[in-house]
Amino acid sequence: MITKSKELFERAQRSIPGGVNSPVRAFKSVGGTPLFMTHAKGAYMYDADGNRYIDYINSWGPMILGHAYEPVVKAIQEKATQSTSFGAPTELEIEMAELITSMVPNVDMIRMVSSGTEACMSALRLARGYTGRNKFIKFEGCYHGHADAFLVKAGSGVATFNIQTVPGVTAGVANDTLTAPYNDLAAVQKLVDENKNEIAAIIIEPVAGNMGCIPPVAGFMEGLRSICDKEGIVFIFDEVMTGFRLATGGAQERLGINADLVTYGKVIGGGMPVGAFGGKKEIMQHIAPLGNVYQAGTLSGNPLAMIAGYTMLKTLKENPAIYKDIDDKTEYLHKGLDKVLSAGNTPYIINRFGSMISVHFSDKPVTDFACAASANNTLFNKFFHAMLNNGVYLPPSAFETWFISNALSYADIDETIEKTAKALNS
């Protein structure tokens, strides 16, 4: 049967590379035709053929309160009547910065940008300018956007497409990028010892979400913090996924670890295109125009993105019980999936941290990218389509975490668990 989504995908491929504007959306990993969405509300998305799906992507994280959250929608509508962009400062940017610094431990100053990629790229440039060093350490399977330096052994779409050597990324850039397995402190120490006084930064997803959900093992983050303190290395938390999702103070608060710089993405804009990087004043004051590390953006602090983010973050700050609600719902889903999956003969691992969760068809713990890559991801692809056919929309890759929204009801979760059992038997 020719669906509307199939017609749209065929049409899109004539004018858009691969028919999509971000690679993972193409369903290349899982196979089949990507679904084109028309609208979403609460916990549900609706495709061009009118099918409803329980959503476990939530725009890759930011829809903590659900799709089309009414106060955010109204705030955007009202702000749009005043103009969609100024290219000049507004009081709202100050209010947003003050709100974020009041919520997040260890962030004295913050600079708004337009995406998570831009935030990570800028934070790394700042760390290099601050330290006078060029090299940095990232972790295999962690994705920090598509800036050249971050595409070495990256997760997310790069892992999905198995592109570990990216054309267009020069050897010089790659040589300054040092990689270690996630959760392997000894490997990090070895790199530091081999590159004494050359490493500007260590950047990490404090809870990995781009190789499935992979939490840090006990002592790993504390060990990294200690290495950075000892060696004068800037410790960067990429909280594009975890910021304001795991707690009002993000992963820093949840893990009890202070980073030197923190990056944010779409979460701080309620799903609007936005990003930010912030941290200690001692480091942030090196950014132009205060310092000589240059960073700029015409749309930085865009009023629509700022009002959307401000409205959502203020809601979260004033209602911290939301975090317990979504954590409880994620735990309920975990227990239900565990019960269904344990009834079968297929090995599996469920990883969960806060409102992030993923299923890996593996017979051993999944603690890094190598473990995630060695799982039965062909089976995951079949599972994905079986769930999709039953009205449950999961990330179209085994290398992506699922995100829970507070709009998700226990009835929705029960339906998901029931359909998981049906999918496994199909």
Give the pLDDT of residue 156.
45
Give the pLDDT of residue 361.
96
Give the pLDDT of residue 275.
96
| Catalytic residue from among 44, 53, 56, 143 | 143
Give the pLDDT of residue 160.
46
Ranges of the chain with pLDDT below 70: 1, 153-167
Burial tier of 48 (Cβ tally within 10 Å: 0-12, 13-18, 19+): middle
Give the pLDDT of residue 153.
62
The 3-class secondary structure across 330-358, one letter per residue, is HHHHHHHHHHHHHCCCCCCEEEEECCEEE
Q: Has 193 been annotated as catalytic?
A: no
Rounded Cα–Cα distance for residues 241 and 210 (Å): 9
Structure tokens at 122: 């800028």
* Among candidate residues 207, 220, 215, 157, the one with its CA nearest the CA of residue 366: 215
Rounded Cα–Cα distance for residues 151 and 149 (Å): 6
Rounded Cα–Cα distance for residues 177 and 110 (Å): 25
Pairing outcome for strands 135-139 and 109-113: unpaired
Give the pLDDT of residue 55.
98
Structure tokens at 54: 């329980």
Give the pLDDT of residue 1.
61
Q: Has 266 been annotated as catalytic?
A: yes
Structure tokens at 332: 């309920």
* 149-191 tens-digit pLDDT: 888 765 444 444 444 556 677 777 778 999 999 999 999 999 9
Give ∠ CA 365-26-21 in degrees, rounded to 5: 115
Q: Has 238 been annotated as catalytic?
A: yes
Give the pLDDT of residue 2.
74
Give the pLDDT of residue 413.
98
* 275-290 tens-digit pLDDT: 999 999 999 999 999 9
Q: Which amino acid is at 67?
A: H
Query: Using omega within 30 degrees of 0 as the cis cutoff, is the peptide bond preceding 289 cis?
Result: yes
Give the pLDDT of residue 147.
86
Give the pLDDT of residue 402.
98
Rounded Cα–Cα distance for residues 156 and 168 (Å): 19
Give the pLDDT of residue 120.
97
| Catalytic residue from among 55, 238, 260, 368 | 238
Give the pLDDT of residue 172.
73
Domains contained in the chain, CATH given:
4-68+320-424 (3.90.1150.10), 70-318 (3.40.640.10)
Give the pLDDT of residue 9.
94
Give the pLDDT of residue 254.
96
